[in-house]
Each structure stands twice: as C-alpha cells, then as structure tokens.
Amino acid sequence: MGRPYRLLFDQVLSKQDPEEAHHAAFRAIRTAVPALARVPAVGSPVEALGLTFPNRLGLAAGFDKNAVGIDALGGLGFGHVEIGTVTGQAQPGNPRPRLFRLVSDRAVVNRMGFNNDGAEAVARRLAARSTHLGGRVAGREGRATGVSRPGPVLGVNIGKTKVVPEDDQAAVEADYGTSTRLLAPYADYLVVNVSSPNTPGLRSLQAVERLGPLLEHVRRTADAATDRRVPLLVKIAPDLADEDVLAVADLALEIGLDGIIATNTTISREGLRSHPDQIAEAGAGGLSGRPLAARALDVLRTLRARVGDEMTLVGVGGITTVAEARERIAAGADLVQGYTAFIYEGPLWPRRIAKALG
C-alpha cells in the first residue's frame, strides 16, 4: 500500500487543508478501534525505562493531543503512543491556519501552540480508559509475569500553559505540577516538553539553571501522585548548541533522569527544496520531517557519547525508512518515534517499520 498511498497523498490528500485532513484521518482511525484492537502486535519486545515495549517504534507527541485514540493507534503497529502535549489549563492554541505541508521536502510546519483540552479533561479520559481496560493500564502491570495488558505503552507529554509567565519559575513549576499530579497516575512514562518553538519563552526553560529545578519538581510531584515510580524524560530541541546539549546530558545524569527524547521540531529553514514562496507562506513554527533528520541524528550521537549506556534515549525527527530507523538505533536510540512520516507514508507505515526492526 506504500506507493498507492503516496500517490493518493500527492494527488488528493495534499490538496486538503492539513488540519482538517488530520482530524478526518484520526476520526477514521478511531472508528476502526474494534477491528484494530484485535490486530496482533508486530515486532519484538524491547526493555527500556524499566518497561517492556511491544516494539521499538512509537508515535511522537502531537498527533493524539487529547488521549482520544491511544489503542487504535497501537493497533496500527505503534508499540508506544505519546499523547499531548497536555497543559495544566485547556487552551485553543494559535489562530488558524497553523499547520502546513512542504511536500517537496516531506516536511510539515506547525505552529499549533499546544492546543489541548487541559490536564483535568485528559485525566478523566485516561481514567475512563483504565476502567474500560480493567484497571490494567498504568505501570504495565503483569508484564514481568508474562501477562500482557491491553494497549501500547502510554507516554504523557506535558508542557507550559501559554498564559503562565515563562519568567516566573514558581508559576511555571506549579503549572507543570498540575499536569503531573493529574496525569502521572495513568502514565507509563512522563515527558517534560520545554522545546516547542510555538509557546513564547518555552525554550528558555531548557537552560539548565531553570530546567533542573523544574524536572526535580515534576519528579517530586509524580512520586507523590502515585505509589509507583513513573519514568521521567525531557524532550529537547535540535536547535540547541552542542555545548547546551551536553549541559542537558550532564544535568540528566546529575538528577537521575530516566531518559531524553531527541529531538523536537526545528526553527531552521536551511536546505529546503520547497519554493521560497511556499516556505514564506508557511511562516513561523516548528519544522518536522526529513530535513530534521541529520541534526536529530547528530544530537542523539552527542547525547549517547555523554550519558553512556544506562540512560534511555528516544530518537525522533525525520525518520521515514527502515534504514533511517536502524541508523538511529545504531547511533544509540533505545526507542524511535515517528509522526511526519506517518502522515506522508500512510496507515501501514507503522507496522512495516516495527516489523522490520524486529
């Protein structure tokens, strides 16, 4: 289905409004939940973060912002699904249009602005899912004894509410704390997102003097919210200078962080094939897809060389082919994630990649 889907995308889907096309496709996926739930897992299990993942491939945050299609997405072949980014308060995000395709580059530009229903609403949704699945959701209960619980591993990605002043550290920590308290009980792992370019001032939180206290606050809040230890990761930008990447790695080691996700979208527009007018029309925002691959790979290699073998690293950014996924694993990724390739390659892409990775 790879080539037929690409033809369909290039000739039909690419002409639709990107955000409307996303919502339509996601509705179709969710409608297929009963059938997808019966699809057997693909790939080989892998141990990371103290959890057993059905395979190495996950869906990056941004696709299912509100936890409405976790198990359907797992049925497509993703071994883990990272929901969000979820903020402490509900917010509409930036004005439309805010999602753009650069088809010649197999890339997407988004300036969504963390549009989501808020931590309280998402927590209610996750609680209902837990009840529906018999309460065996958070923590991967039963994996150690060989009793598999339903669904993919669930990551919860949390970010700053836009109205919270980025220069008020106490307010920032309280905001992330709200999301952590409400969502940690349902998460298999938590991700602190300080690297989206679409919330003003957010990336300033990547500075280690601010990031350290924030991560420690989230850690304490998560520990108080649940009686199990929820693995905690941070997601960083590809636009950090190498010395700043190393500083984050050192901080992660110092405070005992469980992992790092490398990387988020980029604000760079260097080396694009798309027409300059099309790039200008897309405007500001985070660029994802193939143009991100080289820098994301470099950041991953830099991190692995610094943190050694113990910390979990998740490689994301520009992965489309099996060879690219394998290259990311060879460079030090324990797990890989995709998003933009899922849009361009279609619904059979996750199973194809996961199966090939073994």
Catalytically annotated residue among 195, 196, 274, 288: 196
Nearest to 82 by CA among 132, 136, 19, 153: 153
CB atoms within 10 A of CB 158: 29
Query: Is residue 113 marked as binding?
Result: yes
Query: Is residue 311 marked as binding?
Result: no
CB atoms within 10 A of CB 224: 12
Strands 335-338 and 57-59: parallel
Query: Is residue 65 marked as binding?
Result: yes
Beta sheet of 99-102, edge-to-edge order:
99-102, 107-110, 286-289
Query: Is residue 263 marked as binding?
Result: yes
Determine whether 268 is an active site residue.
no
Query: Is residue 15 marked as binding?
Result: no
Nearest to 245 by CA among 257, 256, 236, 233: 236
Query: Is residue 229 marked as binding?
Result: no
Query: Is residue 94 marked as binding?
Result: no
Phi, psi of 98 (to 5 degrees): -140, 10
Amino acid present at 329: I
Decide if 129 contacts 163 (C-beta within 8 A).
no
Query: Is residue 157 marked as binding?
Result: yes
Query: Is residue 198 marked as binding?
Result: yes
Query: Is residue 110 marked as binding?
Result: yes
CB atoms within 10 A of CB 261: 30
Query: Is residue 235 marked as binding?
Result: yes
Q: Is 266 helix (H, G, I), strand (E, B) or coil?
A: strand
CA distance 304 to 309: 7
Query: Is residue 289 marked as binding?
Result: yes
Query: Is residue 55 marked as binding?
Result: no
Cis bond before residue 85 (omega within 30° of 0): yes
- The string of DSSP codes covering 47-115 is EETTEEESSSEEEPTTSSTTSSSHHHHHHTT-SEEEEEEEESS-B--SPSP-EEEEGGGTEEEE-----
Nearest to 259 by CA among 104, 101, 21, 49: 49
Query: Is residue 265 marked as binding?
Result: yes
Query: Is residue 64 marked as binding?
Result: yes
**Those residues with Cβ within 8 angstroms of residue 20's Cβ, 6 or more apart along the chain or in another chain:** none
CA distance 151 to 281: 39
Phi, psi of 332 (to 5 degrees): 125, 0
Query: Is residue 84 marked as binding?
Result: no
Active-site residues, by number, are: 196
Residue numbers in the known binding site are 61-65, 85, 110-114, 157, 193, 198, 235, 263-265, 289, 318, 339-340
Residue numbers in the known binding site for FMN are 61-65, 85, 157, 193, 235, 263, 289, 318, 339-340
Residue numbers in the known binding site for substrate are 65, 110-114, 193, 198, 264-265
